[in-house]
């Protein structure tokens, strides 16, 4: 946790998976309240403050103005770690370095309509399939022109793009996880309201007959540690970075 008097980090030198404005501890008015400090947390884009360094997820959601009894998928993001789902009783220690944000996604509610049959051209690792299901994603695997794809539909995007959700494509090598998951692809191609060019996204590839925008984002891959969970953390960090989150 950093003091608010510390200069914030900006630009390309910023450490991966770290956002300087999320989860920081702030001292307020040393001359007036020498022993009073507030801890900050980003809850779905709303910055809340807590006088205590520990806060229950239910309390944080309520303080941010959301109804905790809504059937949320609640994901805690910590810098340098795979995102993980937490429940309302989970207590967040804001003293832990790298606490970034809570992300809320409504769980899909089936109103009786017939669910679309999931296509499965190949199996993901059991832990990958468990992760995708736990996060409530609409996903499937398919093979197109000899390339193996994981397709995630209605992937929620951070505020700042012209659309709220996108279909994300991730190419899965036959020898994964020995071979790395590299880059990701978005349909429709994402754009900023300002019209500013998003670096390294100019390449468009056709996948399942649709135009997918290739996001060339790379990192060092460790087959003993990395997986779909850590690659989705890269996807989220890349999407957030371009809109300043």
143: Cβ contacts below 8 Å, ≥ 6 apart = 121, 122, 149
Residue 117 belongs to some domain of the structure: no
Same domain, 171 and 221: yes
Q: Considering only CA atoms, which of 96, 94, 93, 98 is closest in space to residue 82?
A: 98
Instruction: Name the domain boundary from 71, 106, 141.
Output: 106
Same domain, 131 and 100: no
Q: Do the Cβ atoms of 208 and 151 come closer than 8 Å? A: yes
pLDDT tens-place string over residues 158-196: 889 998 899 999 999 999 999 999 999 999 999 998 888
* Domain interval for residue 172: 126-241
3-state secondary structure of 162: coil
Residue 65 belongs to some domain of the structure: yes
pTM above 0.75, yes or no: no
Maximal C-alpha separation, the chain: 67
Measured distance CA(42)–CA(46) in Å, rounded: 5
Residue 71 belongs to some domain of the structure: yes
Same domain, 137 and 230: yes
Q: What is the pLDDT, as a whole number, of residue 116?
A: 56
Query: To the nearest whole number, what is the mean pLDDT of the chain?
Result: 81
Same domain, 31 and 137: no
Of 212 and 74, which is predicted with more confidence?
212
Average pLDDT over residues 202-214: 94
Same domain, 164 and 229: yes
Measured distance CA(117)–CA(76) in Å, rounded: 30
44 confidence band (pLDDT: 50, 70, 90): confident
Same domain, 88 and 187: no
């Amino acid at each position: 946790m950093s003091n608010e008097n510390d200069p914030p980090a900006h630009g390309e030198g910023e450490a991966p998976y770290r956002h300087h404005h999320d989860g920081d501890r702030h001292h307020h008015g040393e001359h007036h309240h020498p022993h009073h400090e507030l801890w900050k947390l980003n809850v779905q884009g709303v910055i809340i403050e807590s006088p205590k360094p520990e806060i229950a997820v239910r309390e944080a959601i309520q303080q941010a103005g959301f109804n905790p009894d809504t059937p949320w998928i609640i994901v805690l993001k910590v810098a340098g770690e795979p995102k993980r789902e937490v429940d309302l009783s989970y207590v967040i220690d804001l003293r832990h370095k790298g606490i970034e944000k809570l992300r809320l996604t409504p769980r899909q509610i089936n109103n009786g309509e017939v669910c679309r049959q999931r296509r499965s051209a190949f199996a993901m690792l059991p832990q990958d399939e468990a992760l995708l299901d736990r996060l409530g994603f609409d996903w499937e695997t398919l093979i197109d022109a000899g390339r193996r794809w994981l397709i995630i539909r209605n992937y929620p995007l951070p505020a700042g793009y012209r659309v709220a959700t996108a279909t994300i494509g991730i190419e899965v090598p036959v020898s994964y996880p020995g071979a790395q998951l590299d880059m990701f692809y978005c349909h429709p191609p994402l754009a900023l309201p300002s019209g500013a060019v998003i670096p390294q996204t100019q390449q468009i590839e056709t996948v399942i007959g649709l135009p997918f925008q290739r996001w060339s984002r790379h990192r060092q891959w460790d087959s003993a540690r990395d997986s779909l969970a850590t690659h989705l953390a890269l996807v989220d960090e890349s999407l957030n970075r371009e809109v300043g989150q």
